[in-house]
A and B are shown apart, each in its own frame.
Chain A
């Protein structure tokens, strides 16, 4: 192994490239950009603005933050449902006037004033909501008009009553507390904004209304088709927005105490910038309350700092506008390109050094020497099947197989001409095994471990295991349960080929050839599921050895077969028994003479073996070359091998022409015949085994003779 090779191996062992794609496919990844902007802006302005972290400045800016924060959350809710609310500034002005008028002019107590102000603002929001939600006017124009109307109304009111408001000055301790009070050093308004934010967050992510709202924002038409009351939902967002604005203006009134006509002037742009910079999508459907608050902090830090730095007020508006532009650009580009970025970085190949490939030439004398023994198989269900990955027999000799459509199909003995649907499960049915009670246990791609009772009833056994500590993608769910076998005590050991890909793209995992798979044990006695072995390279076939204390399992892309002892004196030991297969092993099953069958579902190609030592090459291939053109080991050719307990390969069965069984993923010996399945094939083959025990069945081998 060259130095270069060693370096590559270490580089790919210790740098977890695959994490990037997994992180990017997380939903919360949208928060990362605004979060770093937030930290960045505070760091930058905190260091250049004098007195940024002084208690007084901090207290003042957090109070201002709270007031704008309410409005921003309201705006975010409207935008999440796909709308926009430009009238917030005017509503803010009216709320401010109303609060001061009720407190100062009429001398109403605070606890009466607050609900009245909120109700009044909600009513204003209802106007927007009715116009936009029910009359289906354009949100932008409608709220632009209401912005002007309510602004004029507020100006008129201030003009008429302004002087009387200024002279008034009723004061109560509660009113002052709301304005200047602290709770453990935190301004009251700030505390309230946090509480409201948590409530809104729970509402958006956990409640029916929140889900409806996000659905409407994501796709109005689909939401309507799904039976969501789109108009009502849209209307309610405007009511919520105005109510929250009212709450903000209430605290503003308490703090400033002035009904000047510039209250809330230009607020719509400030808030819009905050919400978009925070990462809420203008198109709706994507965003959160937390993002709105993060955006508010960024924008206020920016504007306040610019003012303290002595920039003219026009200039700070300019900066705000530029920030909005940047926010919108990022929003559009990110939304459009996110899935492209994920798809180009998700596939992350690892280094894997294949052992030397044993010879397969017809005259090589090796146990793998090519022959034509599978040429004359009899065919079952030709053209009626789509993807019989595994085949199995019950005690009455009926044949069961799976399909890509998620069925369990039964062919009736003795001639296997009559086909019937035994059960429909839904996910692609892969490995099968009968247990002691003649229940058919089955691994279902994308679903987990199921069992089918003799009457056809489908029972879920397990679909999740313990989540591993540092996994980024949720690996507790079964993504690709593949093959299983059952220990004498009833424990079911099954393989999950990969936790990074679904059944439809299982072959893509070969480009990675990383230990993405695992073997899981389900114990029906306790109902517990736990992961037994991890970081396996596409673990596939599992077969309990004849000793009843260990199982063989195949690691497909690694072209090797290993044995693991789960019981007995060697418990916990793992041993590679065949390290260098010429092809990619799939299912393993018992043979009648105490040996084991294994299907090689594809053969190794030298160029692919070479590429496995060049992860960078494969990564660039995955990024640049179209998916259909990627290079794979040759899974159009395969064979069946037989090996013994020591891992000695005894013989092989080939279909050199590749006509009937271009790919073999499984085989099952039953009463002197060998039955062959293939996950991409449309037939089951059967071959007479002249030297096999004509009475041997795997059911007897596992559970003893019934009669």
Chain B
């Protein structure tokens, strides 16, 4: 009773659950232009997932997997698949490649592929992250309702049907957790706990016994995507879009949101996106009006590029940014390779690299 009343009151005044406040980017997440100024290694068509395997950096690009050598040089295609590649992972020995049809190709150290498929309880196929650990393969299925390329719909429908699965070499499959709001990245903490970035809830959680999620890092100012281990302990976290008041407001306006989802092309929604300014049909926010030909870096933006360095307990230490006036947006994956941090930008469709010690000095 009181809860219902409180709900109505909050809806009327815009407080509590209905508040649209967004945490500021501050402290270790203070904006800079390090990601925007990073070296652009190569233009890649539809880049998404990155991993290091066999001394090379692998990047997924649509249905292909591209390989980059440590010494530089043009990327080479090392795999062509029937469906788009949605995630890559390697433990140094074996490589796992998830495809948009929900299958996973697990290639062992000898190069022998095994084909795995998500069980039907997983629902639709949107494998966003993989984690290979010897004979064990962990799989994050973003949503049971949409396919990976339709992520925006899941976000705007406030989807929370994601799940985590564990495959054992030999065939055993087990569900570790369910009802996650788009698990987008996986990582193993030093003490053996499993962590996952829950993108629509802007947090990183640990998955405990019985699939219980406990937050390790909550209230992020951006939508987190994939996690990868950092040398010297800790992790790298990529985030592809900022949280904005307007989107938070949209998420609380059920009628308008439903109408938008039903009648408007997702590219033109008031929603997070991988790149901004590609079409004038995208809605503009007041602070984003160009004055004297200039877009302010602090303008409200629906896309962003953020790579954050987290410590072993998943707390942020430093960050690399590409702000509203930049283009390296929609960063969905970052890995450390050859002493540098590499990030895949869906917004700029390229691979960038910067020195990890830059932020150390800045911070």
- Say which residue of A604, A611, A681 sits within 8 Å of B293 (CB atoms): A681
**Residue A606 lies at the interface, judged by CB distance under 8 Å to chain B:** yes
The contact of A620 among B253, B280, B291, by CB within 8 Å, is: B253
A637 in contact with B249 given A662-B290, A682-B292 (CB within 8 Å): no
| CB of B263 closer than 8 Å to a CB of A | yes
B269 partner residues in chain A, CB cutoff 8 A: 607
A202 to B295, CA, bound (A): 52
B256 CB to nearest chain A CB (Å)? 5
Bound-complex Cα distance A608 to B256 (A): 11
Whether A445 is near chain B, meaning CB under 8 Å from some CB there, is no
Chain B CB within 8 A of A691 CB: no
Which of B245, B255, B283 meets A607, CB within 8 Å?
B283
Tell yes or no: A630 within 8 A of B by CB.
Answer: yes
Give the residue name and chain of the B residue nearest to A682 (CB).
B292
Of the listed stretches A155-163, A315-323, A621-629, chain B binds A621-629
Residues of chain B within 8 A (CB-CB) of A680 are 289-292
Which A residues lie within 8 Å of B259 (CB)?
A: 610, 614
- List chain A residues, Cβ under 8 A from B3: none
A466 CB, min distance to chain B CBs, angstroms: 34
Residue numbers in A under 8 Å from B255 (CB-CB): 614, 617
Our pick among A607, A662, A681 for the contact of B264 (Cβ within 8 Å) is A607
B260 near A610: Cβ-Cβ < 8 Å: yes
B92 at the interface (CB under 8 A from A): no
Interface string of B287-319 (1 = CB under 8 A from A): 111111101000110000000000000000000
Chain B residues in 8 Å Cβ range of A660: 293
B interface, over-half SS: loop
Output the least CB separation between B15 and chain A (Å).
10
Beta-carbon contact of A628 and B286 below 8 Å = yes
Report if B284 contacts A (CB, 8 A).
Answer: yes
- Chain B contacts of A623 at CB under 8 A? 14
Which of B249, B281, B286 touches A507 (beta carbons < 8 Å)? B286
CB of B9 within 8 Å of the partner chain: no
Chain B residue at smallest Cβ distance from A511 = B286
Binary per-residue interface labels of chain A (627-639) against chain B in the complex, 1 for a CB within 8 Å, 0 otherwise? 1111111111100
Q: Which residues of A contact B299 (CB under 8 A)?
A: 628
Chain B: minimal CB distance from A690 (Å): 27
Q: Per-residue 0/1 for A154-179: is the Cβ within 8 Å of any B Cβ (1 yes, 0 no)?
A: 00000000000000000000000000
Which of B270, B277, B285, B286 is the most central at the interface, judged by chain A CB atoms within 10 Å of its CB?
B286
User: How far, in whole Å, are A604 and B286 apart by their CA atoms in the complex?
Assistant: 15
Contacts of B287 in A (CB 8 A): 628-629
A378 CB, nearest partner CB in chain B, Å = 16
Interface string of B250-284 (1 = CB under 8 A from A): 00010110011001110011100000010011111
B160 adjacent to chain A (CB < 8 Å)? no
The answer to whether B290 touches A632 (Cβ under 8 A) is: no
Q: Does B207 contact A (CB under 8 A)?
A: no
A12 to chain B, nearest CB (A): 15
The chain B residue with its CB closest to the CB of A386 is B292
> In chain B, residues 67-113, which have Cβ atoms closer than 8 Å to a Cβ of chain A?
none
Q: Contacts A507-B286, A610-B260, A680-B289 hold; do A605 and B246 have CB atoms under 8 A apart?
A: no
- Give the contacts of B183-197 with A (CB-CB under 8 A): none
Complexed CA–CA distance, A604 and B280 (Å): 8
Contact of B256 among A386, A611, A662, A663 (CB under 8 A): A611
Chain A residues within 8 Å of chain B by Cβ, number: 39
- The answer, yes or no, to whether A603 is at the interface (CB within 8 Å) is yes
Given A605, A625, A629, which contacts B281 in the complex, CB threshold below 8 Å?
A605
Pair B264/A631 contact, Cβ less than 8 Å: no
Given contacts A507-B289, A628-B285, A680-B290, whether A607 and B249 have CB atoms under 8 Å apart is: no
Q: Mark A205-226, 1 if CB is under 8 A from B, else 0.
A: 0000000000000000000000
Taking each of A605, A607, A660, which has the highest tally of chain B beta carbons within 10 Å of its own beta carbon?
A: A607
Asked if A63 is an interface residue, CB under 8 A from chain B, the answer is: no
Kindly state the separation between the CA atoms of A610 and B292 in the bound complex, as whole angstroms.
Answer: 29
Q: Is there a chain A Cβ closer than 8 Å to B155's Cβ?
A: no
- CB < 8 Å neighbour of A682 from B280, B286, B293: B293
**Cα(A58)–Cα(B321), bound, Å:** 76
Hey, which chain A residues are within 8 Å of B14, CB to CB?
A: 620, 623-624
Total CB contacts across the A-B interface at under 8 A: 112
Do A636 and B280 touch across chains, with their CB atoms under 8 A apart?
A: yes
B217 at the interface (CB under 8 A from A): no
Q: Give residues 578-616 of A contacting B (CB, 8 Å).
A: 602-608, 610-611, 614
Q: Are A637 and B283 in contact (CB under 8 A)?
A: no
Which residues of chain B are within 8 angstroms of A614 by Cβ–Cβ distance?
255-256, 259
Residues of B near A683 (CB, < 8 A) are 293
Interface centre among A611, A628, A632, by most B CB within 10 Å? A628
CB of B11 to closest CB in A, whole Å: 9
- CB of B285 within 8 A of CB of A630, answer yes
B327 contacts chain A at the CB level, 8 A cutoff: no
**Nearest-neighbor residue (CB-CB) of B248 within chain A:** A625
Residues of A within 8 A of B263 (CB): 606, 610
Q: Are the C-beta atoms of B290 and A605 separated by less than 8 Å?
A: no
Chain B residues positioned under 8 Å from A603 (CB to CB): 280-281
Does B283 lie within 8 Å of A634, measured CB to CB?
yes
Closest-CB distance, B19 to chain A (whole angstroms): 8
Chain A residues lying within 8 Å of B291, measured Cβ to Cβ, are 680
**CB-CB under 8 A for A663 and B290, given A607-B270, A610-B260:** yes
The residue of chain B having its C-beta at the shortest distance from the C-beta of A654 within the complex is B280
0/1 string, A402-423, CB within 8 A of B gives 1: 0000000000000000000000
Which residues from A are CB-within-8-Å of B285? 628-632
Instruction: Decide if B256 touches A605 in the complex (CB within 8 Å).
Output: no
Is the C-beta of B20 less than 8 angstroms from some C-beta in chain A?
Answer: yes
Within the complex, the shortest CB–CB distance from A678 to chain B, in Å, comes to: 9
Task: Select which of B246, B260, B290, B295 is within 8 A of A629 by beta carbon.
Answer: B246
Contact for B286 among A386, A602, A611, A630, CB less than 8 A: A630
> Would you call B322 an interface residue if the criterion is a C-beta within 8 Å of the partner chain's C-beta atoms?
no
Which residues of chain B are near A663, meaning CB under 8 Å? Answer: 290
B244 close to chain A: CB less than 8 A: yes
Closest to A583 in B: B280
Most chain B CB within a 10 A radius of its CB, from A602, A611, A626, A627 = A626
* Interchain CA distance A606-B262 in the complex, whole Å: 12
Residues of B within 8 A of A507 (CB): 286, 289
Q: Chain B residues with Cβ under 8 A from A634's Cβ?
A: 280-284
Taking CB atoms and an 8 Å cut-off, the chain B residues in 139-196 that contact chain A are none
User: What separation, in Å, do the CA atoms of A380 and B332 have in the docked complex?
Assistant: 42
User: Which one of B265, B280, B281 has the highest number of Cβ atoms from chain A below 10 Å of its Cβ?
Assistant: B280
Which residues on the A side are within 8 Å of B244 (C-beta)? 629
With A and B bound together, what is the CA distance between A623 and B287 in angstroms? 17
Q: Which A residues are CB-close (under 8 A) to B292?
A: 386, 680-682
B279 to chain A, nearest CB (A): 9
- CB A403 to nearest CB in B, in angstroms, measures 11
Q: Is the CB of A636 within 8 A of B288?
A: yes
Closest to A508 in B: B286
Query: Which one of B284, B289, B293 lies within 8 Å of A605 (CB-CB)?
Result: B284
**A624 neighbours in B (Cβ, 8 Å):** 14, 20, 245, 249
Q: Which residues of B contact A625 (CB under 8 A)?
A: 20, 245-246, 249
| A635-B284 contact, Cβ under 8 Å, with A607-B270, A624-B14, A629-B245 | yes
Contacts of B277 in A (CB 8 A): 636, 658
- For this complex, 19 residue pairs linking A to B, each with C-beta atoms less than 8 Å apart, are A605-B268, A606-B268, A606-B281, A617-B253, A625-B246, A628-B286, A628-B299, A630-B285, A632-B285, A634-B280, A634-B283, A634-B284, A635-B289, A636-B277, A636-B289, A636-B290, A660-B293, A663-B290, A682-B293
Besides A633-B284, A635-B289, A636-B288, 11 other A-B contacts (C-beta < 8 A): A603-B281, A604-B281, A606-B263, A624-B20, A624-B245, A625-B20, A629-B286, A630-B285, A632-B283, A635-B284, A663-B290
Residues of B at the A interface (CB closer than 8 Å) are 14, 20, 244-246, 249, 253, 255-256, 259-260, 263-265, 268-270, 277, 280-293, 295, 299-300
9 shortest interchain CB distances as A-B pairs:
A637-B280, A628-B287, A682-B292, A603-B280, A624-B14, A634-B280, A605-B283, A634-B284, A607-B283
